[in-house]
Structure 1
Amino acid sequence: MSMPKRKLGAHGPEVGAIGFGCMSFAGFFGAADDETSLETLAAVEAAGIDFWDTANIYGMGHSERIVGQYLKETGAEVTLATKVGIVPGPPRSFDNSEDYIRAELESSLEKLHRDKVELYYIHRRAQEVPIEILAETMGKLIQEGLIDAWGLSEVAPATIRRAHKVVPVTAVQNEYSLWTRQPELGVIQTCEELGIAFIPFSPLARGALGVSDLDPSQFQDHDFRRVNPRFVEPNWSENLDYIHAFRAYAEKKGVTAPALALAWVLHQGDHLIPIPGTRTSTHLHDWAKAASIGLSEDDLWDLEQILPVGWAAGDRYSDAQLLGIERYC
């Protein structure tokens, strides 16, 4: 399937306008099995999605192993991103030291069956390491050919600027969707100004903007959303009222709700490359053609009325989940 292309940063490669997040393969949003995950990756490749995102922390390397297995077995050519910096707990902590980053990168490359990755993110910034020192570490990895470029996740505009002055940042990854719009308060603009790709994760609101209602009472114990404030009552019932109105509008337009939600994200700037994720190819087909959906000024106005800024009840993370996130507003 043909997929429109966008630049992964001012000096990066062209990739599909829609990428793919592989977090779900580790069971963060319900049980996942390897056979289904591999089938999903085949559907992702067939859809023309060639920018894949994983992390060493997803299932303690399980997501990377699944991606690596698929790449080894099929020879698929994709632009690959993985992440480092979160140390599993309890208690959860963060490590941005050069020794830790190098050791984790070696482990990730082994799982991915790669000699290098095109993009290596700092998953969370460890505040005790000056961002300039961290940038220098990433610059060494680039010079050594172990990574092509580096990025940051869940950081403030000031951090992006400081890092970019030392070693140019290629991509910044933060949560962004119709129900999480904080990046509009500086991150999106900073990335555009500096020629950095902005990579929205969870652009479908962690499944909330899907084709049917989620039932939080059925979430498994290890499901990330089980303690997420937006999925806990009374917040969830309040949020459903808005979601139903949005879904009705999408139906009126003849598209699915997730495709419309993703089209809205794509419309926010040519430097945005969202990375929705899914455990199954069925859900993939719900939004895979979102890049072909045009939105008029009237459509955008309608969406602002249906889902006004700040409509979601509850914080996007619980207090424990917020650990390591840079706040700037």
Structure 2
Amino acid sequence: MQTRELGRNGRKVGAVALGTMNFIGTYGAADRDESLNCMAECLEMGVNHFDTANIYGMGRAEELLSTFLRDHRDRVVLASKCGITRNPERPFDNSPEHMRESLEGSLRRLGVDHIDLYYLHRHEPDRPIEEVMQTLMRFRDEGKIGAIGLSEVAPHTLERALAVGPVAAVQSEYSLWTRQPELGVLQSCRRNGVALMAFSPVGRGVFGARLPDPAGFGPNDLRQGMPRFSDENWPRNAIRLREFAAYARDLGHSPATLAIAWVLSRGPHVLALPGSRSSEHMRENAKGAAITLSDAQLDEIETILPVGWAHGPRYGAAMSKGPEAYC
């Protein structure tokens, strides 16, 4: 596994990371033993950066991860997040008190004394990012976190945060399915030596070995509320996705492997963060880090899936409230 830095002069980790949101059934029923086995096999593949959050299963993902960390903490670069609540009246809370409570809760559930990379999961609109950075820097100075990260922020928020202190990474959804970071975040991260952690690089499963069937989504499947999977949009999206899958197989790759390779081709500061509890799927994801795409192949991919090709926005109204808009 090739390695990339978590920010300029930051820790080196595998270019492909492991997201743990799937561990608690976000996209269907989850199995504890399958998840633990996936983590063990990821380390053997060189996938040593594990990403979680306090709201994944209301702490259950962190608790499951703690079981694995008991024997493997020294081999794992650990990330978690804070800033989202389950309070409909105040869905985002970046107050020092809430962030402190969230951090202490994560440390307790994870069974660790520090978190290597700690993200602000969503920026509370009315709270200056400068104030939030001061809180995160206090956590860092106390030794409870290592590096600071931001998630789903606009380029201008990143620039303001950097004026206060170092930011190692920014998480944004980025894939051939969702390319908004190319409108500013990708460039701002590169310019400032910040890692871009591209989550959902396999497009919520659309670049999997088999196309998902929205008719079979369970009631708790996160994709239920995503317009790209609607009865109107999905048939149109599926046509291009089948064409991409055929092209990937013509090259001798799975669609997921090629999708990951494309994400990593966006720059040496970009890392891929797929979420999975399947060792088989993670092996396909990890293979993407071993592929260098030629200019001709990149052009062919762009022809099949040109920027803006997907029908429908990535999020519905409720989920659109958190990510910062910047174009």
Which band: TM-score by shorter chain?
Answer: over 0.9
Aligned position for 1:167: 165
Other-structure match for 1:193:
191
Residue in 2 that maps onto 1:328: 326
Deviation string, structure 1 residues 252-278 (Cα, Å, up to 9, x no partner): 100100000000000000000111111
Q: Give the aligned partner of residue 219 of structure 1.
A: 217
| Residue 97 of structure 1, CA deviation | 0.7
Residue type of the partner of 1:72?
Answer: R
C-alpha separation in 2, matches of 1:321 and 1:264: 26
Distance in structure 1 (CA, Å) of the matches to 2:272 and 2:234: 24
C-alpha contact 1:211 1:257 (8 A) present in aligned 2: yes
Distance 2:74 2:18 in 1: 14
The equivalent residue for 2:21 is: 23
Paired residue total:
327
Shift of 1:251: 0.7
Q: For residues 261-316 of structure 1, what are the alpha-carbon distances to aligned partners after superposition, in whole Å with 9 as ceiling and x for unaligned?
A: 00000000000011111121122222221111120000000000000001111100
Structure 2 distance, partners of 1:226, 1:140, is 39
Identify which of 142, 149, 152 aligns with 2:150. 152
On the 8 A contact 1:156/1:326 being kept in 2, the answer is yes
Post-superposition shift, 1:48? Answer: 0.9
* Equivalent position of 1:181 in the other structure: 179
- State whether residues 16 and 285 of structure 2, in contact with CA within 8 Å, keep that contact through their aligned partners in structure 1: no
Residue 138 of structure 1 deviates from its aligned partner by 0.8
Q: Could you say what secondary structure the match of 2:321 adopts? A: coil
Find 1:276's aligned residue among 261, 269, 274.
Answer: 274
Who is 1:102 aligned against? 100
Closer/same/farther in 2, CA of residues 241 and 91 from structure 1, 3 Å limit: farther
Once the two structures are TM-superposed, the CA of residue 20 in structure 1 deviates from its matched residue by: 0.9
- 2:68 equivalent in structure 1: 70
Describe the SS at the equivalent of 1:133.
helix
> Residue 92 and residue 34 in structure 1: after superposition, are their counterparts in 2 closer, same or farther (change >3 A)?
farther
Asked whether the 8 Å contact 1:117–1:146 carries over to 2, the reply is yes
The answer on 1:4 being equivalent to 2:10 is no
1:236 counterpart residue number: 234
Report which stretch shifted further, 275-284 or 57-66: 275-284
- Return the alpha-carbon distance in structure 2 between the equivalents of residues 147 and 287 of structure 1: 28
- Local SS of the residue matching 2:272: coil
User: Does the Cα contact within 8 Å between 2:53 and 2:80 map onto a contact in 1?
Assistant: yes
Whether the 8 Å contact between 1:65 and 1:111 is mirrored in structure 2 is yes
Aligned counterparts of 2:235 and 2:290: Cα–Cα separation in 1: 32
Deviation at residue 92 of structure 1 after TM alignment:
5.8
* SS of alignment partner, residue 302 of structure 1: helix
Aligned partners of 2:202 and 2:322: how far apart in 1? 23
DSSP 3-state at the match of 2:273: coil
> Which range moved further: 207-216 or 91-100?
91-100
Farther off after superposition, 170-179 or 226-235? 226-235
Q: Is the 8 A contact 1:211 1:286 kept in 2?
A: no
Cα 1:91/1:114, change in 2 over 3 Å: same
In the superposition, the TM-score normalised over structure 1's length comes to: 0.97
Gap runs ≥5 in structure 1: none
Work out which of the residue numbers 68, 79, 82 in structure 2 matches 1:81. 79
Structure 1: 4+ residue segments shifted above 3 A:
73-76, 89-92
Does the alignment pair 1:14 with 2:15? no
Q: Decide which moves more: 86-95 or 261-270.
A: 86-95
Aligned match of 2:38 = 40
1:69 and 1:92 map into 2 onto residues whose CA distance is 32
Q: Secondary structure of 1:166's partner?
A: coil
* 1:32-69 Cα deviation digits (max 9, x unpaired): 02111111111211211011110000000011111111
Letter matched to residue 27 of structure 1: G
Q: Counterparts of 1:257 and 1:92 in 2: how far apart (Å)?
A: 39
Q: Secondary structure at the match of 1:94?
A: coil
Structure 2, unaligned stretches of length 5 or more? none
Tell me how far apart the structure 1 counterparts of residues 124 and 211 of structure 2 sit (CA, whole Å): 37
1:306: which partner in 2? 304
The alpha-carbon deviation at position 90 of structure 1 amounts to 3.6
Query: Distance between the aligned counterparts of 1:187 and 1:127, measured in 2?
Result: 18
Superposed displacement of residue 179, structure 1: 1.1
Contact kept? 2:21, 2:56, Cα under 8 Å: yes
SS at match of 1:322: helix
Deviates more, 1:95-104 or 1:275-284: 275-284
1:265 to 258, 263, 266: 263
Question: Is the CA contact 2:17–2:271 (under 8 Å) kept in the aligned structure 1?
Answer: yes
Task: Confirm or deny: 8 A CA contact 2:84 2:91 kept in the other structure.
Answer: yes
